[in-house]
Structure formats: C-alpha cells, structure tokens
Amino acid sequence: MENTSASKTDVLSAVISSNRLKALPAPPFLVPAVIEMLLESRYSSLVAVIPGEADAYCAEAARQHGGVIFTSDSDLLVHDLGKSGKVILFRDLDTIHLPSRGKCLKTQEYHPAGIAKRFELPNLVKLAFFMSQDHHKSLTENIRLAGKDTPMSAGFAEFAEEYGSLPKLSRLAMVETIDKPNVSKILARLDPRISEVVHLVRVKENQEAPSDLQDSDNLNMYLPYLIDDPTRTSAWRSGVSIRAQAYSLLRLLNSSITQVTEFERKGTRVAGTTVELDSTSSAVAMLEDCVKSLKDDLGQHSSLSKAARWRAVATRHVCQSNLDNEKPPPLSSDINRLVTGSREGVLSWSFIHASAQMQASLYSLRMLSQISTVVQSFLEGADNAILTPLQTLVNLLNDLPSLRELLDEKTSRDNSEIEAARAAVLSTLQSLGITQDAEPLSKKKKKRKKKGEHTGERTPPGVAWRNNNMFSNLS
C-alpha cells in the first residue's frame, strides 16, 4: 500500500546500516530528544507522554477515533481497536520508486476487526492465546480452537486482562490528577523515565492505589543505558548529587519516601544503587544552596554560548565527582572537546567515558529541572515558604537548552569562542586544584601496563567520529 511520498530529508536513509555498528545500543537520550522535537513542532497539540504502557492508550484512541497505529509490537493486533482501527508494523515499511511519484513509502496494513470477522471470531484474543500456548500448531487449527464455545483454561483470564480496557491496564492512570490547571500539561511533557518515577510518587500517596505499588517507600529509577567504558565506574555516578536533590524534592509530595534505587549498567550487568535522601536538612536551605551553586557556576562561564556554558557546568560536576571518588579527572584536552562539542580526532576510551559522564551530569540537571517544575505546579497556590526558592530554581533551569543543542551542537569555530572555552576549562580545573597532564603519558602507560590495566588512550576498534549522530536528524 502506498502511503506518502518521502521528503528530501529521508529519516529512514539516516539509519546506520553498517553491520559492525548494529550491536551498538541506540543513543541513550534519543527517545526524549524525539519527544522534545515533537513538542516544539506543529504537532505539539497532539503529543503527550502518558503514564503506563502506551499500547492501551493507542488502542483506546483507535477505538474512539479510528486511524492507524504504527508500531513494532504485534500485540496491538490483539487489542480492541474498534471497527476501523488499523495497525502498520515498522518492519513492513519499505521504500519504492514510482515513475509518477518518485520515491515513496510502501507498507502493509492490518485491520484486526476485519481479520476477526474473516475468521468468524468476535475478536482475536482467544486466537492469540492458543497461538501463545503452542507455537507448533497451524493457524487453521488455532482458529478452530478459538471458534469453539468451550470453557477456557485458568490462564486465559489473566492473558485476556492484558488486552482489556484502559482503566484496568494502566494502574498509574487510576490515580486522578489533582485539579490544578497546569499539572496535567506539565506531566504530559515529562521525559518517559522521569514521568515514571513522578507517577509512582503519586500512586504511593493515593490510598486506593494497588497494594503492590504501596508495599515500600522506596522508589525505583531506571537510568538510560549510557555508552561508557564498562571497565570503569559507571558514568552515572557523576550526576548523583544533582539527582539526589531532584529526588529530595519529590519528598514534598510524599514525605515517607526515604530512598531511591537507581538501576544502571555496571560493567556487563545491570544493578541497583541506593541513593539515600537527606531528611535532616531543610528543603528551603537545600534549594537555596543549589540555586547559589548553579548561579556561581554559570556566572563563571558567561562568555560562552548557552550550550557550551551548560556543558562547562556539567564537566565541573564530572571532575568534582571523580575527585570525591578518588578517581583521576578527565584529561584537559578531553574536557575542551566536550565543552566545545568538537568532532575532531579519534575516540579514545578516556574520551568516550568522559563524554558519558558529561551526558549523565547534563541529564541529571534536566531531571532536576523537570521534577522541580512538577513539584512547583503541585504546590502552586499553597502557603509554603519553599515556593520562592523553588520558583527561582525553576526559572534558572528553564535556561537549560534542548538535548539536541546540548549533545549535538558545535561551539562556534570563532577563535574567541574557542579560547573562551579553553579559559573556562582551565579556570574550572584550577578552582578544583587539578594540575593536568603534569606526568608524561609514557610513564602513565608503563605504570598501568604493570598493573594490567588499559591506558585509556587506545582507540576502540573501528570507532572514529562519523557524521551520523542520531541527534542531528532532529535538527
């Protein structure tokens, strides 16, 4: 089926096709970056981040309004999409060339209601159940079993519940939004990972929420998979102090929360790290200290462009974190490249890890920004001394650029800007008491070789800068 002609900037053609890169994970912040760009586009009124699984919301929209759901999940075929709802699987998308139209998209669409009618079934739930029970049975045999009016096994009820109505499927959706004008709008614009932890706080404070979501005062945060050096401490440790401040703000919505468990990749495994929240310090004092620290850091780099200024703030957190954990800070040359967004040179493991650390710090600031905005919207109108410093923090973090600008924008090639970046890095290192590259690199290599460690300066096999950064597709 022909859908539409492709634009000159064909997104499909930007997908990396090199076999040796297929094993690499997707850019860690690609999903929130795409959502961010959609919210800035002419489709912004149609875009919302929802609590719970998206399948149920897509099915509900198709059932009420018709239309086509684009997905990679064939489970959507089993949901009730109404009489006219259809599904297109991404795997079926292809490009063809038509003499009259040029390059076009070609795909195949599925009409679940029509398929069920053809098989003389009320829906496809029973058919899907029998198909899941025995993969060796033919489709004809499964259709015959689904059409029989016989008692179903005990497992069928649980299976069918996954394809029920929206209230049953989305436990988070059961918690009603407080009747405040800005809350719903703000919640609908959160990054998915941040949205999840915020909604879990709301569930915990709702007395009628499912008991399995209230069995602990601990919150779980699933951090994006960063591309860092797996032989070193997780890059996410760089921004943990910033994230702890963000989690502490959530206690203003539910004071019983005492800790957050962050799940992240550690070496070759995924493990949780507990972040204890400070319950002794005043929230007002914490916010005032946070605001002062950010203002001081930003003020030191006022000569830089906005994106470079925030990257400089993030790299300072990286250096401080390394020092606090008795780890050597990144090389000054690597920090310069990170602040300026330079694409020049090969990728060493030291640079890859420092880049991931900077990304972790930047995203931690983004988490603080979004969570402080949510908390401020919930407390709006209340007689609370915390609102003044909280509003100041929200205003300060509103200056944080988009992910695309932070992670893919190059600093101007103007010499004055480049020199300003170098001066900013030097000032940061000096303020932290760091003397960079004082020891000859050859000595470092020899010392590490004796310990059986890599030098951090080698280049990963087959990796170098390429002009295929996924974030650049969003510009």
Q: What are the per-10-residue average pLDDT scores of the chain (475 residues)? A: 43 42 74 94 91 85 92 91 94 89 90 94 92 90 90 87 71 56 86 90 59 59 90 92 94 87 85 85 89 91 88 93 89 88 83 94 97 91 84 95 85 70 81 63 44 47 45 47
Write down the mean pLDDT value for the chain. 81
- Residues 164, 310: one domain? no
Do 253 and 334 fall within a single domain? Answer: yes
- pTM of the model as a whole: 0.79
Does the residue 174 lie in any domain?
A: no
Q: How many CB atoms lie within 10 A of CB 242?
A: 23
Does 148 lie in the same domain as 280? no
Q: Are 191 and 49 in contact (CB under 8 A)?
A: yes
DSSP3 helix / strand / coil % (the chain, rounded to 5): 50, 10, 40
Is 45 a member of any domain? no
Together in a domain, 217 and 158? no
Residue 177 lies in a domain: no
Q: Is the domain of 150 the same as that of 228?
A: no
Residues 111 and 249 occupy one common structural domain? no
Residue 223 lies in a domain: yes
Residue 41: inside a domain = no
| The last residue of a domain, from among 153, 169, 185 | 169
Interacting residues of 73 by C-beta distance below 8 A, sequence separation 6+ = 55
Question: Are 156 and 354 in contact, with CB atoms under 8 Å apart?
Answer: no
Structural domain of residue 145, as residue ranges? 53-169
Task: Mark which of 169, 199, 226 sits at the end of a domain.
Answer: 169
353 burial level (CB within 10 Å; 0-12, 13-18, 19+)? buried
Q: Is 1 among the domain residues?
A: no
Alpha carbons within 13 angstroms on the beta-carbon side of residue 434 total: 25
Cα 434 from Cα 319, distance rounded (Å)? 9
- Are 156 and 263 part of one and the same domain? no
Of 108, 136, 169, the residue at which a domain comes to its end is: 169
CB 247 within 8 A of CB 223: no
70: nearest Cα among 3, 170, 163, 168: 3
Outline where DSSP puts E strands in 213-268.
218-222, 259-266
Q: Is residue 60 part of a domain?
A: yes
Whether residues 301 and 405 share a domain: the answer is yes
Does 142 share its domain with 254? no
pLDDT value at residue 11:
40
pLDDT per position as a tens digit, 83-108: 999 999 999 999 888 888 888 989 99
Examine residue 357 and state whether it is found in any structural domain, yes or no: yes
**Integer Cα distance of 411 and 419 in angstroms:** 11
Taking the C-alpha atoms of residue 58 and residue 283, their distance in angstroms, rounded to an integer, is 40
* Tens digit of each residue's pLDDT (9 = 90 or more) over 396-440: 999 999 999 998 766 656 677 778 878 888 888 888 787 765 443
Residues 220 and 306 in one domain: yes
The total number of structural domains that make up the chain: 2
Say yes or no: 163 and 255 in one domain.
no
Q: Identify whether residues 298 and 447 lie together within a single domain.
A: yes
